[in-house]
Structures are given as C-alpha cells and as structure tokens.
C-alpha cells in the first residue's frame, strides 16, 4: 500500500508558512507605519529632486519615539566595532557584523526589547583583505559587504565561503574607506541594496557645508545566475560642519523599491549627527548609464523620518566626547526590527565604537 502523507512534515511546512505570513504582515505594517510618519506615499508623477543643503536640520513630518537605548558591555570584545545589522525573525536575534575582524555576532533581546545580551559568534572564512560593513540573513547563511575590494560575499551559517556577487565595475573607483558601507535585503528576498558611503571619485566631491554628495544606490537581483543590476542617484545632506565628514552608513529595505537611508557624520568638537530618510527608486533618477554624475543629474526624492538629535535622551550616561545629546554616537547599523508588545513596528540601530574608550557600543530601538 502506498505510504500516506507525513503528518509531521505537513505540520512543519504549515508552521513555516504561518511564520512567513506573519513576517510579511509585520513588514507590511512597518512600511505602512513609516509611510504614515513620512507623510504618506508620493504621487508616481512627482519629479525626482536633489536634496537641498540644510543650513539647519530638517524637520520630520511626525515624531518617532525612542523605545529603548542599551549599552553593550565595553569589556567584551564582541561589542567592539559593530557595523551593519540584520534582524533574524526566525531566531529572534539581531546579527551584527564586526568591521575589524571577519565575524558576525548575535545580539539577543529580552521580550520587551529593552535589554540585549551577546550571543554566539560566527567566524567567517573569507580569503583576502576585508573591512566588513553590512550583513543580511538569507536561507542557510549570510551575505556581507566589505569596503575593501569592494566586495559582496555570501557565506553559509558556519561562515564558510559560498560565492562573490558581481558588482558594477565603476564601484571599484570608490574613495578609500568610503566604499560600500551598507547592505539590506528586500522583505521579498528578491533584491539586495547597497550604496557608496560618499561620491565615487568620478562622481564629484564629498559632502561639504555648501552641498551634499551624489552617491549611487545599487539594487542587485538575488539569484544564482546573477540577475539584473540597477543604479540610482541619491544626494546626501550637506555636511553639518566644515571640518567633519558625512555620508550614507546603512540602508533598510521596506519593499522592492522603497528604502530607509541612514545618513550620519562626525566633526571634532561637535560630535555626531544622525538622520534617517525614506526614499523610493525612480527610473528618472537612474544612474546605470552614467559614467559620471553631476550636480544636475536627477536624484531620488527623500523625506526625513527622524533626526536622532530631536529624541529625548533622559537617563542615559553622559557622553564620553562632545555630542549634541547623550543619545548620539557613531550609528552605522540600521534594520527593521520585530513588533513591540503594544503592536508598533520598530527600527533598530547599532553604533560602532571604533574600538575606542571614548565611544559607546549601543543598541537603539525606535518605535513607529
């Protein structure tokens, strides 16, 4: 007699399908909440615009609440030099990549998302020089990006090398230490996004107080054969101070075309400035066919979601160096997080302490 269906296997698939469905609903809710915070969807007929220089910080359409801020133990080497992050809904951990050594560490929250503990570390077996800045979770493994190269590399869950992903050749012209700082995966799993931290040498100057930098956001179709690649021009804010720097430090995909962009910079004597924008890919701001970008090249429209300097920072320790508020530090990681107990969507941020005693390794949870 033919064997009947394996009921345990069917139940396992049903559970997996239910988890995936809940995850998609959560991501859809997060995208809707972010759209509400930024004033809703733009008309498809709206023209791309260059982001104007900001003599004073822009104002967000609606406030975003600081849910929690937690400082990781400074005496644990796993806390040091954390950069890109990715939320793993199935394991309920936040993976953070180290930029000083090829490894990924799990940050494990309590149920309220107010405290975090350090979990397992995955050592990456990738040959060649690396400066890892971004990470995403994929079935059975991770994808990381390195400023050195620049490279995007897939590994399995044990950290073993799987493959290099092809990048547009012009990205090889990135400025030293200002290359690929960001990586995110669309909720559908179809596309990777990355961006140069500042303008390629061929595309103009870095950000100054008089104007922003033109950077390229790259979308890669994630398949085994190496699918479509698209590029779009994004203009950063002007640098807040003459002697500081400014650029894109991470991205978080809301769907296959909409992104959150983490812009941040630092200036001696002033500290950090950190802003999160929403943008959407638009073919009229495509840079795929442009060998160089100019100040007249159409750039993607963007809407401010939050300037971290505007959030209350009561109860946090005093900064270890000059900062506008105790909340601010060198935030380099951005990711959509889990749902809060009250049903709101979250954004997660992690700061890179650069291995210095005068900076914090901190996890922020923002409620939408």
In angstroms, the Cα distances linking 364 to 32, 65, 70 are 21, 11, 7
pLDDT digits (tens, 9 = 90+) for 62-110: 679 999 999 999 999 999 999 999 999 999 999 999 998 999 999 999 9
pLDDT digits (tens, 9 = 90+) for 317-334: 999 999 999 999 999 999
Pairwise CA distance, residues 350 & 324, whole Å: 18
Q: Output the pLDDT for position 314.
A: 84
Reply yes or no on domain 7-41+51-367 having CATH 2.115.10.
yes
Pairwise CA distance, residues 248 & 337, whole Å: 20
Q: How confident is the model at residue 32 (pLDDT cuts 50, 70, 90)?
A: low
pLDDT digits (tens, 9 = 90+) for 222-235: 976 667 899 999 99
pLDDT digits (tens, 9 = 90+) for 267-288: 999 999 999 999 999 999 999 9
Percent of the chain exceeding pLDDT 90 equals 76
Count, in order, helices (H) and strands (E) of the chain: 1, 20
**Which helix (DSSP H) or strand (DSSP E) does residue 9 occupy?**
helix 7-37
pLDDT digits (tens, 9 = 90+) for 38-58: 544 443 344 444 444 444 556
Would you kindly state where each structural domain of the chain is located, as residue ranges?
Answer: 7-41+51-367
Closest Cα partner for 185 from 266, 126, 251, 123? 251
- For the segment 11-23, the average pLDDT, to the nearest whole number, is 44
Bridge-based pairing of strands 245-253 and 229-235 is unpaired
Q: Output the pLDDT for position 227.
A: 74
pTM over 0.85: yes
């Amino acid at each position: 007699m033919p064997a009947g269906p394996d009921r345990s296997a069917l139940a396992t698939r049903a559970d997996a399908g239910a988890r995936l469905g809940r995850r998609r609903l959560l991501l859809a809710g997060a995208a809707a909440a972010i759209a509400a915070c930024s004033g809703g969807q733009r008309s498809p007929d709206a023209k791309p615009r260059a982001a104007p220089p900001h003599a004073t910080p822009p104002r967000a359409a609606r406030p975003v609440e600081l849910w929690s801020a937690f400082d990781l133990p400074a005496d644990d080497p796993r806390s040091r030099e954390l950069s890109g992050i990715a939320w793993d809904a199935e394991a309920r951990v936040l993976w953070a990549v180290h930029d000083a050594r090829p490894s990924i560490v799990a940050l494990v929250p309590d149920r309220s998302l107010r405290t975090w503990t350090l979990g397992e570390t995955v050592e990456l077996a990738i040959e060649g020089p690396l400066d890892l800045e971004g990470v995403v979770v994929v079935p059975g493994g991770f994808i990381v990006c390195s400023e050195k190269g620049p490279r995007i590399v897939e590994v399995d869950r044990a950290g073993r090398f799987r493959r290099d992903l092809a990048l547009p050749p012009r990205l090889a012209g990135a400025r030293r230490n200002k290359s690929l700082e960001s990586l995110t995966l669309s909720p559908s799993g179809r596309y990777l996004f990355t961006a140069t931290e500042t303008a390629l040498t061929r595309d103009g100057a870095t950000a100054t107080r008089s104007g922003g930098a033109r950077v390229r956001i790259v979308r890669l179709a994630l398949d085994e054969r190496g699918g479509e690649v698209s590029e779009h021009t994004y203009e950063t804010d002007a640098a807040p101070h003459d002697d500081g720097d400014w650029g894109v430090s991470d991205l978080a995909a809301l769907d296959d075309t909409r992104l959150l962009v983490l812009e941040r910079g630092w200036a001696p004597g002033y500290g950090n400035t950190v802003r999160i924008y929403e943008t959407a890919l638009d073919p009229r701001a495509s840079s795929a066919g442009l060998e160089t970008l100019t100040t007249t090249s159409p750039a993607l429209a963007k809407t401010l979601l939050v300037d971290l300097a505007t959030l209350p920072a009561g109860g946090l320790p005093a900064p270890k160096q000059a900062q506008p508020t105790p909340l601010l530090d060198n935030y380099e990681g951005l990711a959509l997080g889990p749902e809060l107990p009250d049903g709101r969507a979250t954004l997660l941020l992690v700061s890179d302490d650069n291995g210095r005693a005068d900076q914090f390794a901190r996890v922020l949870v923002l409620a939408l």
